[in-house]
Structure 1
């Protein structure tokens, strides 16, 4: 803590921590989005909010919807669904289901995740919603619920269709939600191969084979969309999520995704500013049994920045004060506002660290008299 400015109206705690502004890395991807999953800091954003055809990457949404039903108890991994002729006839990537088969949901999920099976997607859509169109409507409702802003679904597969779009930002957000909402099922995304109907297929995610800590998620390719990838990797307990689109070949997709992922881990780091429960500052209290109250964060306060960046970031504790008693421990009464190169107004709520009951009668008279004296000086 280098500087502390205290006033009745506002207190500011300024920490000197960062350095030169973040330099964007060039990429051949048409759209690219790289985010630290812990802090939410965006490390790279190239047209990340532009709606574009996601191809098979939209299958992540299909998987999310299936897992959401399992979480609600409306479905189980052992439940079986029938294969229609329409599902069997689906082109593109296939699980190679057979007409009339009843297939377990778990096997269908692996067919979607590992093999990118369009046929498996249709079996799930028809079995759960009656038709693929009805399932797409369900995807749109669910997308609204989880905060996808630039996405619209017309089918379960990502097959080219007018109006079937997602943004790179939405894909990254969806990947993060799937990882955090369904940790017991995320392991399917790291399976390297899956065999169905005596046909063994390898996982198409190139980063799973490149020693970067990758554990998911999904490739995509159509003529319009180009080659894309939504990927996540973990190194030293730090997770990054990357989306790239519009690349020209499988090789370029693999090399560019690896390069950007390694750059994110190499150039940036998460720094802990404060531990959960540690006092960050004291706020003035009006007519309380105590004249101040400790301000604490309920969770660890982390920030993602470049290794070389240490002197330009500021963290300010802001509150309207003095704060009137009584106060309860855990009551939000202030905000920690973090700003700097690459960090746009990140705010952390701060709460009272202890209870502050109202002052007694004589204590209130003393505090009011002291306040009047200070006002006259």
Structure 2
């Protein structure tokens, strides 16, 4: 690791110059996979970077991928305490699912209740339209009112090419989402849903004496896959959002508009394998790693220890992983008072002289100002040093 305390020395190396992942991919001449579908996206979970895409921003019928937003809202309300797991939810006549070849159901009897946690499993694992509608009514009073909440949450997540009309994904005018937006939603679920994310990896769920398997075929063939959701309508085709975690690197794949359940599974597997085959995440410095001691003026201590404020990880191609170096950009000294955790500078990861990632460098302790006379003396010393 190179420590540079004079910013002018750093300018020629990294300041004002950065290297995007897309540029790294282009330089490595990596070709994205060609697939027979309407749209796809491969996202790195840690950074949110897109590794490959096709028609990523095109609004499309999302089918039951819609239910990821329905389940996400439920999960957030469970986490906040606005809902409880054993809270009973009524299956109204409007939400009740009689069962047909055109929709999937949890099969809660009409005018009976089920717990929120069972409803959540019915949505995620069984893809129950009845459970989705019942929870929408329970939370917002009606499915149309719940759709307003869905769109508000979509806006918060930056899902710019998405508009929800219902909680199930059944065909409806204006109901659409892009592959990129669904990847953003999947990332939010993994990041924010805590223990409830584990449900997405469960292979089956039994309710009302009926056992139904998770339609995500990758769960049965790839132990690194732990979610998320399938979808299908005639308009949407066969769709799958999946996530795989291998060697401390997590990828999210979105496949939309394939011709069969087998095709969506095969293409998801191919896309994930392509990503893990070409890319890697390199940790250059863990969080709270000692960086340097920095002289302190006008403080009760003469120096402060600095450390990384976060883990410095670099997403790059496997051909570039051994070219990564680090540069530390900090001042020559600092004045008290200093607060623990205060940002003092930054550590940059550099490839071929260009910055590709950075984390803050922070003070590891508080340092208060020294007394008046001590500060006056240090002013004199500093003045004298500046003469030479």
For the structure 1 residues 211 and 348, does the alpha-carbon distance in structure 2 shift closer, same or farther, using more than 3 Å as the test?
Answer: same
Do structure 1's residue 111 and structure 2's residue 138 form an aligned pair?
A: no
Name the CA shift for 1:109/1:329 in 2 (closer, same or farther; >3 Å): closer
Which SS does the other structure have where 2:109 is aligned?
coil
Q: Which runs of no fewer than 5 residues in structure 1 stay unpaired?
A: none
Q: Which stretch of the first structure deviates more once superposed, 286-295 or 268-277?
A: 286-295
**Distance apart, 1:322 and its partner CA:** 5.7
Match status 1:233 vs 2:255: no
Match of 1:81 in 2: 89
Counterpart of 1:185 in 2: which secondary structure?
Answer: helix
1:31-66 deviations in whole A, cap 9, x for unaligned? 222233234443323343333322111101101111
Mapping of 1:169-184 within 5 angstroms? 169-184=180-195
Q: Deviations over 1:188-235 (max 9, x none)?
A: 212222233443321110111112411111011223322211111223
Provide the rounded CA distance (Å) in 2 between the counterparts of 1:267 and 1:156.
37
| Alignment counterpart, residue 53 of structure 1, candidates 35, 53, 61 | 61
Superposed CA deviations along residues 61-110 of structure 1, whole A, max 9, x for unmatched, are: 10111122222222222222222222225751222333222222222222
TM-score (norm: length of structure 2):
0.82
Asked if structure 1 preserves the Cα contact closer than 8 Å seen for 2:310 and 2:359, the reply is no
Q: Compare 118-127 and 324-333 and name the one that shifted more.
A: 324-333
* Distance of 1:169 and 1:318 partners within structure 2: 35
Q: Distance in 1 between matches of 2:206 and 2:312?
A: 44
1:257 matched to 2:264: no
1:267 counterpart residue number = 278
- For residue 6 of structure 1, report the CA deviation from its aligned partner: 4.6
- Mapped to 2, the partners of 1:8 and 1:85 lie a distance apart of 69
Q: 1:274 to 1:141 in 2, by over 3 A?
A: same
What SS is found at the alignment partner of 1:178?
Answer: helix
- Cα distance in 2 for partners of 1:31, 1:338 equals 33
How many equivalent residue pairs?
369
Q: For residue 302 of structure 1, report the CA deviation from its aligned partner.
A: 1.6
Residues 287, 367 of structure 1: 8 Å contact kept: no
Per the alignment, residue 26 of structure 1 pairs with 33
- 1:40–1:295 CA distance, 2 compared to 1 (3 A): farther
Unaligned runs of 5+ in 2: 15-23
CA deviations over 1:268-312 (Å, ceiling 9, x no partner): 322110122223466676666778755421222222222221365
Contact 1:5 1:12 (C-alpha < 8 Å) held by counterparts: no
Instruction: For 2:221 and 2:355, locate their aligned partners in 1 and report how far apart those are by CA, in whole Å.
Output: 33
